[in-house]
Amino acid sequence: QLSDQQKMSESPLSRFRGVYLPPALHPLNKTLVKGGKWKDVDSTQEKRRSFLHDFCKKYNSRKQPRTHLVHLVSRIYVEDRHKVLYCEVPKAGCSNWKRVLMVLNGLAASAHNISHDDVHYGKHLRKLDSYDLKGIYTRLNTYTKTIFVRDPMERLVSAFRDKFEHPNSYYHPVFGKAIIKRYRHNANEEALKTGSGVKFKEFIQYLLDSHRPVGMDIHWEQVSKLCYPCLINYDFIGKFETLEEDANYFLQLVGAPAELKFPKFKDRHSSDERTSAEVVRQYLKELSKEERQLTYDFYYLDYLMFNYTSP
């Protein structure tokens, strides 16, 4: 029962089935970059791009992804004015990126006065899967596609601290209750009722359980499954560790207004210490050696793809 539109778009869609090797690495269009101060950032960017491309060539020769195009692009935000596609990786600067996209799109004058709720629940930005197949394919081929990633353990610990160490009306009752019920022996009534106070070790038991009592969540899902970096040929790979300079260089590349700079502020729990390598070390101490290894294995592809050092 294919519509004419789907029949028309069948050829682009078919290339996302079976073995799919990423197309040749297109050079970045740097005509809008002004001044020589971006030389080092640009050099780092080129290394990341070619590293990911080479990795995907090797990896994809062994794998046969069978994923529908619409699912592949379900986490990608669209900014049509500057022709930007941004794949959202939670806990890697995504709230401030969405603020920037809203400014680029003319939906706000400044990134600094957009609230957290407006960013995440305002439905101001369109996602790529809301377009028809032709619209999706055209944008994938002609827009500048970016992804911002973070050291997988830091991202994981940051997500745990944010969702389970602060009051949360969704994560405590939905995830917390199920985690405590399943992994805490002799849990008291209060903990079972509220789902508050999940320990990091219990959270990891849930993460590693192939029969999880609740499903996965985008805040700790692997980047390889959120953004499909070996199937979608990202033009720009930013890292949380160099977030500001990467983001501001990217804004130059796409011709953003000169006054628009990536915001520096921490989106929530601003008084908390940022999740650093040292903070991560303290959390990992709560795990057995085997749990640490299995957690690393869980994020193994993310470590490899983005050239992060194993902890």
Output the pLDDT for position 23: 59
Q: What are the residue ranges in the chain where pLDDT is below 50?
A: 1-21
Q: CA–CA separation, 45 vs 234, rounded Å?
A: 11
Angle of CA points 243, 244, 250, to nearest 5°: 90
Output the pLDDT for position 69: 85
Output the pLDDT for position 16: 44
Output the pLDDT for position 83: 96
Q: CA–CA separation, 21 vs 31, rounded Å?
A: 28
Output the pLDDT for position 24: 67
Which tokens hold the place of 259?
């006054």
| Domain spans in the chain, listed from the N-terminal domain onward | 38-153+219-275+301-306
pLDDT in tens, 35-69: 788 999 999 999 999 999 999 988 875 555 566 88
Q: CA–CA separation, 180 vs 239, rounded Å?
A: 34
- CB within 8 A of 81, min separation 6: which ones? 104, 105, 106
